[in-house]
Structure 1
Amino acid sequence: MSRNFPPVGNWELVRDYEIVCAVVADRKTTVAAQRLGMSQSAVSRAIAAIEKRRGKTLFHRESGRLLPTAEALDLYREGSAALSTLATLAGRRGEDRTERLVVTAPPTLLQYFLVATVSDFARLHPNVTVSLAIAGIENLAGVVAEGQAAVGLADAAVMHSGIATELLLDTDVVCVMPVGHHLAAKPWIGPYDLDDEDYITINRKHSLRSSLDRVFSEAGVRPHTVVETDVAMAAVEMVRSGLGVSVLNPFPIVRDRMDGLVVRPFSPTLSIRTNIMLPANAPLPVATRRFVDFLKERSRAALAAMLANIASGPDTR
Structure 2
Amino acid sequence: MNEGLKVFLAVADERSFTRAASKLHMTQPAVSQHIRSLELDLGAHLIERNNRMIRLTRAGEIVDRHARQIVQTEEQMRRLVHDLASTIFGALHIGASYSIGEYILPVMLADFSKKHPGVDPHIEIGNTHSIASMVASRTLDVGLVEGSYSPNEVETEVLGADELILVARNGHPLVRDSFVTIAEAEKECWIVREEGSGTREFSDRFLEDHHISPERTMTFSSTQAIKEAVRSGLGISVLSALTLQMELELGVLQQIRLEGLPITRQLFIVTQPSAFQPKVVSAFSDFAKEHFSDLTQTRTPVHRTSIDET
Between 139-148 and 201-210, the greater mean CA deviation after superposition = 201-210
Tell me which of 83, 92, 105 is aligned to 1:114.
105
5+ residue gaps, structure 2: 1-67, 305-310
SS at match of 1:131: strand
| Structure 1 position 112, deviation (Å) | 0.5
CA RMSD after TM alignment: 3.0
Which residue of structure 2 lines up, in the alignment, with residue 207 of structure 1? 201
What pairs up with 1:74-85 in 2 under 5 angstroms? none
What pairs up with 1:217-296 in 2 under 5 angstroms? 217=211, 221-250=212-241, 252-258=242-248, 259=250, 260-264=252-256, 266-269=258-261, 270-296=263-289
Q: Residue deviations 1:108-157, cap 9 Å, x none?
A: 32110101110111112111121111223332222101221111011121
Q: In structure 2, give the amino acid aligned to 1:136.
A: N
5+ residue gaps, structure 1: 1-26, 38-79, 88-92, 313-317
Q: Residue deviations 1:217-238, cap 9 Å, x none?
A: 2xxx432334112433322221
What pairs up with 1:18-29 in 2 under 5 angstroms? 28-29=69-70
Q: In structure 2, give the amino acid aligned to 1:183.
A: L
Is 1:105 aligned with 2:96? Answer: yes
Alignment CA distance shift 1:177-1:110 (3 Å): same
Which residue of structure 2 lines up, in the alignment, with residue 150 of structure 1? 141
Distance in 1 (alpha carbons) for counterparts of 2:160 and 2:257: 17
SS at match of 2:168: strand
Alignment CA distance shift 1:212-1:111 (3 Å): same
Which residue of structure 1 lines up, in the alignment, with residue 295 of structure 2? 302
Alignment CA distance shift 1:282-1:143 (3 Å): farther
SS at match of 1:183: coil
Is 1:32 aligned with 2:73? Answer: yes
Q: In structure 1, give the amino acid aligned to 2:148.
A: A
Is 1:133 aligned with 2:127? Answer: no
Distance in 2 (alpha carbons) for counterparts of 1:285 and 1:208: 33
Distance in 1 (alpha carbons) for counterparts of 2:135 and 2:187: 40
Alignment CA distance shift 1:265-1:112 (3 Å): farther
Distance in 2 (alpha carbons) for counterparts of 1:147 and 1:185: 48
SS at match of 2:271: strand
SS at match of 1:152: strand
Distance in 2 (alpha carbons) for counterparts of 1:239 and 1:224: 17
Alignment CA distance shift 1:309-1:159 (3 Å): same
What is the TM-score when the length of structure 1 is the normalising length? 0.63
SS at match of 1:173: strand
SS at match of 1:154: strand
Is this contact kept in 1: 2:89–2:280, CA < 8 A?
no
SS at match of 1:162: coil
| Structure 1 position 193, deviation (Å) | 4.0
Moved over 4 A (4+): 27-30, 34-37, 187-190
SS at match of 2:108: helix
Q: Residue deviations 1:230-289, cap 9 Å, x none?
A: 433322221122211111232x31224534111356531533221111111333322222
Identity of aligned residues (%): 20
SS at match of 2:102: helix
